[in-house]
Amino acid sequence: NAGVTQTPKFRVLKTGQSMTLLCAQDMNHEYMYWYRQDPGMGLRLIHYSVGEGTTAKGEVPDGYNVSRLKKQNFLLGLESAAPSQTSVYFCASSSRVEELFFGEGSRLTVL
């Protein structure tokens, strides 16, 4: 049972490039989330999804897009990366009444 899997684990981009982070969960969870973690700021919610085909904005959505075409997958896209998006990105999933389960993180550096 893999839980929550994120790919890639590391990525370096140049300003203006685009990329997609993939999150996959095998727990049949309804809810999925993308957070970013920055030093001294904890984790901040970027976007979330409460079911297949649905997405919603979190606390810091600007510069990111998401899609949830399949229940088990939640994609986070950066259309034009900026240095301010250098961060560690965590995907998480949960059922309606349980705690969040987190992936191992994806470290993104934008030069």
Partner 1 sequence: AQSVSQHNHHVILSEAASLELGCNYSYGGTVNLFWYVQYPGQHLQLLLKYFSGDPLVKGIKGFEAEFIKSKFSFNLRKPSVQWSDTAEYFCAVISSGGYNKLIFGAGTRLAVHP
Work out how close the CB of 94 gets to partner 1 at its nearest, in angstroms, rounded to a whole number: 5
41 contributes a contact to partner 1 by CB under 8 A: yes
31 contributes a contact to partner 1 by CB under 8 A: yes
Work out how close the CB of 70 gets to partner 1 at its nearest, in angstroms, rounded to a whole number: 19
* Neighbouring C-beta atoms of residue 37, cutoff 10 Å: 14
Q: Which of 1, 14, 28, 40 contacts partner 1 by CB under 8 A? A: 40
106 contributes a contact to partner 1 by CB under 8 A: no
Q: How far is CA 68 from the centre of its chain?
A: 11
Cβ-contact 60, 24 below 8 angstroms: no
CA neighbor of 46 nearest in space, from 3, 78, 24, 19: 78
42 contributes a contact to partner 1 by CB under 8 A: yes
